[in-house]
Amino acid sequence: MTTTTGIIGIGNMGLAMALRLRDRGRAVRVRDIDPAREALAAAHGAEVAETPAALGRGAACVIVGVVDAPQCEEVLFGADGAASAMEEGSAVLLCPTLGPASTMEIAARLERRGIDCIDAPMSGGPARARDGTMSLMVACADAAFERHRELIEALSTQVFRVGERAGDGARTKLVNNLLAAVNLAGAAEALALAERLGLDPARTLAVIEQSSGQSWIGSDRMRRALAGDLAPRAHTTLLAKDTRLAIEMARANGFDAVLGSRAARLFAAACAAGRGALDDACLLQFLRDQDAVSR
């Protein structure tokens, strides 16, 4: 087995992780369904694999950075899936936001092949993935963590060991993202209200940022929204998916997430209105439009 790290899914986060590892002298092999993303990674020194299996062959670890559980299933266990070519003692770092049941099933299938599954959802966005300050919420056996500690700590200086049980990383990420969605929805609603009241939204946001209403995601997204910058760093579809999964998890455990459910419906409505491919900062304009219709 080599020290090569494979990354499947070279979107904004996947590419940032590839560049982070490259800067630390690690050999990186990539695979994406979009040839343009593969070409971009290759231009930065990554090797491109023809299939997930080719990527997994000989890799010490495969980082999965696709969007959802069906995509994870396909790239790991589908035709030419990476798991079929990986060696015993290697690892899969599972970084998408998934439901805990999906994570547990994937972990069990990998472990039957002698492959460590490291449940490691990430948070923080591409810039923080690039500079190594994103959060990694890691759940895996202690022995697996120690075997792959060097890679995990190369990816991030903010590694949180949330437990040994597969799925606890996913549970933690969904709790975090539900709160992020509530905070973002609240920030967008507050600025839409400020505008209705005749207040300057940029000045209002500056006050909020130094007062009790401040949240990181509110500041980050609303500054972009006020600048008219909706180039997607985090597509609206992602928080729509994540909040849906979080509410499903809550209901399965007998918990009524009232605020989270309202936020989930808002993100779903924004996607239904054709804004899913935009950055989730688009929520401010979506609420402006809803307000205009209701007048």
Taking 60 as the threshold, does the pLDDT of residue 1 lie above it?
A: no
- In 3D space, the residue among 268, 265, 247, 245 whose CA is nearest the CA of residue 256 turns out to be 247
pLDDT tens sequence across 183-236: 999 999 999 999 999 999 999 999 999 999 999 999 999 999 999 999 988 899
Taking 80 as the threshold, does the pLDDT of residue 293 lie above it?
A: no
Please indicate, yes or no, whether residues 90 and 181 belong to a single structural domain of this protein: no
Residue 291: pLDDT band (50, 70, 90) is confident
Residue-level pLDDT at 193: 97
Residue-level pLDDT at 198: 97
pLDDT tens sequence across 274-283: 999 999 999 9
Please indicate, yes or no, whether residues 76 and 213 belong to a single structural domain of this protein: no
Specify the range with the lowest mean pLDDT, choosing from 97-101, 176-180, 228-232, 256-260. 228-232
| Domain end residue (candidates: 121, 137, 166) | 166
End-to-end CA distance of the chain: 64
Query: What one-character-per-residue DSSP string does the chain give?
Result: --S-EEEE--SHHHHHHHHHHHHTT--EEEE-S-HHHHHHHHHTTPEEPSSHHHHHTT-SEEEE--SSHHHHHHHHHSTT-GGGGPPTT-EEEE-S---HHHHHHHHHHHHHTT-EEEE--EES-HHHHHHT-SEEEEES-HHHHHHTHHHHHHH-SEEEEEESSTTHHHHHHHHHHHHHHHHHHHHHHHHHHHHHTT--HHHHHHHHHTSTT--HHHHHHHHHHHTT----SSBHHHHHHHHHHHHHHHHHTT---HHHHHHHHHHHHHIIIIITTSBGGGHHHHHHHHHHHH-
pLDDT tens sequence across 249-269: 999 999 999 999 999 999 999
Taking 60 as the threshold, does the pLDDT of residue 245 lie above it?
A: yes
Domains held by the chain: number: 2
Report the CATH number that the domain containing residue 250 is assigned in CATH: 1.10.1040.10
Identify the residue with better confidence: 2 or 152: 152
Please indicate, yes or no, whether residues 175 and 216 belong to a single structural domain of this protein: yes
From 20, 29, 57, 173, the catalytic residue: 173
Q: How much of the chain exceeds pLDDT 90, in percent?
A: 94
Residue 2: pLDDT band (50, 70, 90) is low
Please indicate, yes or no, whether residues 149 and 178 belong to a single structural domain of this protein: no
Please indicate, yes or no, whether residues 64 and 190 belong to a single structural domain of this protein: no
Please indicate, yes or no, whether residues 184 and 258 belong to a single structural domain of this protein: yes
| Domain end residue (candidates: 166, 200, 226) | 166
Mean pLDDT of 139-147: 96
Residue 103: pLDDT band (50, 70, 90) is very high
Please indicate, yes or no, whether residues 238 and 204 belong to a single structural domain of this protein: yes
Report the CATH number that the domain containing residue 56 is assigned in CATH: 3.40.50.720
| Domain end residue (candidates: 166, 200, 228) | 166
Please indicate, yes or no, whether residues 197 and 213 belong to a single structural domain of this protein: yes
Average per-residue pLDDT for the chain:
95
Please indicate, yes or no, whether residues 194 and 239 belong to a single structural domain of this protein: yes
Please indicate, yes or no, whether residues 198 and 131 belong to a single structural domain of this protein: no
What is the domain extent for residue 270?
171-294
Is 241 catalytic? The answer is no
Distances in Å between the alpha carbon of 123 and those of 36, 153, 173, 227, 246?
Answer: 25, 15, 8, 24, 15
Mean pLDDT of 15-33: 95
pLDDT tens sequence across 216-229: 999 999 999 999 99
Please indicate, yes or no, whether residues 10 and 154 belong to a single structural domain of this protein: yes
Please indicate, yes or no, whether residues 104 and 208 belong to a single structural domain of this protein: no
